[in-house]
Chain A
Amino acid sequence: MPSKSVGAEYIKGLWEENPVFRQLLGMCPTLAVTNAVINGIAMGLATSFVLILSSLVVSSLKKLIPSQVRIASYVVIIATFVTIADRFMAAFFPPISKALGPYLPLIVVNCIILGRQEAFSSKNSVGRSLVDALGMSTGFILALLVLSSIREILGMGTFLGHQVMGAWFKPWIIMILPAGAFITLGILLAVALVIESKTKKRKA
């Protein structure tokens, strides 16, 4: 892995190792908060904030943390940043904080974050971990954006609260219900697999 260029380290998070579509990590927030685009973006940014700062701290402290207690230490580091994000949202964006409810504090158990610390930041330099965290964050935000756009447009006929569908459009209520989240993500995963196998065939 160290032979990878910095650019490739970033790009891999977007598609090749996209946390949601390829690795199936962080499914709970992905499904729960994507009923509106604004919630998806807020969740994506909050998760990125926690991921990037935790990666920075873990990668700079990796020599100091004994490996027996590493998971507990990572969890405390992550929980600290989640608390900061949670308090910040509650203070400056109360409506969004209310809409996200328990899912904002639940970033602490988002497997993307702990997964990156264990798989990457604990073994790589600070700079590389930062690039990796940025790539994963972008991939996560992209996935949330795709899912929440589909659900908001079909479920309410709006995008970020603006009407985009004509008056003829009858909103599909199911899309903003939990069932819509599961079905849309299931179909998106299949689409991602089809694209992946097509590009692989072309390369071969």
Chain B
Amino acid sequence: MELITLFIAAILVNNFVLYYFLGICPFLGVSKKIDSAFSMGMAVTFVMTITAVVSWMINHWILIPYNLDYLQIVSFILVIAALVQLVEMFIRKISPPLYQALGIYLPLITTNCAIMGLALLAALKDYGFAKTVVFGVGSGLGFTLAIVLMAGIREQLDLADVPEPLKGAGIALIVAGIMALAFTGFSGMIN
């Protein structure tokens, strides 16, 4: 039960983009078309899940037993960079169509603060293994939901008459603000 609550909370209530402000760069950069937004979201979910598993193992099997937790930042960032590279090579070998679909989004994910944020938040909240995995999948899906919704709105916005200075990032941020406001409505769901 606790896991289900955590899962729903990660998607709707503590949404990575709209609550933690993580992954804003791809959220603004890759949200012009629904298709590409969805691919980006899937790529992030995929990498987040793997990162959650690997960072938990590193933290609990290596860093904590040897009192090395001050190396968390350095080791997490290196692991994420290596992981993204590995995942990219792996997908290219195993499934060329998937590789085509994710394409340029995979390498971009290394510098996505959502991935690093996930590893740090899971370590900070001291989640167990199952919780960490659920948190990773949920957060990734939450990111996907936010970016796809945003892309849907922005496709419509293209046709709207937006004041000149607000065009581009300005209106995108204001739309994100209104979305965040709507998402705060979910916070009553989970106490």
CB within 8 Å of B: which residues of A?
A: 24, 27-29, 31-32, 72, 75-76, 79-80, 82-83, 86-87, 101-102, 105-106, 108-111, 114, 174, 177-183, 185-187, 189-191, 193-194, 197
Contact = CB atoms under 8 A, between A and B. Distances in A.
A101 B124 contact: yes
B73 A178 contact: no
A181 B73 contact: no
B78 interface: yes
A111 B25 contact: yes
B145 interface: no
B141 to A, nearest CB: 19
B99 to A, nearest CB: 21
B172 interface: yes
A124 B74 CA distance: 26
Contact of A179 (B23, B71, B171, B180): B180
Given A32-B22, A75-B78, 7 more contacts: A27-B28, A86-B73, A102-B117, A109-B113, A177-B180, A183-B178, A193-B164
Contacts of B71: 83
Q: Which of B22, B112, B121 has the most CB of A within 10 A?
A: B22
B129 interface: no
A187 B120 contact: no
B177 A106 contact: no
B166 A28 contact: no
Contacts, number: 116
B128 to A, nearest CB: 18
Contacts of A75: 77-78, 81
B12 interface: no
Interface in B61-110: 70-74, 77-78, 81
Given A76-B74, A186-B173, A28 B180 contact: no
A26 to B, nearest CB: 9
B174 interface: yes
Contacts of A189: 169-170, 173
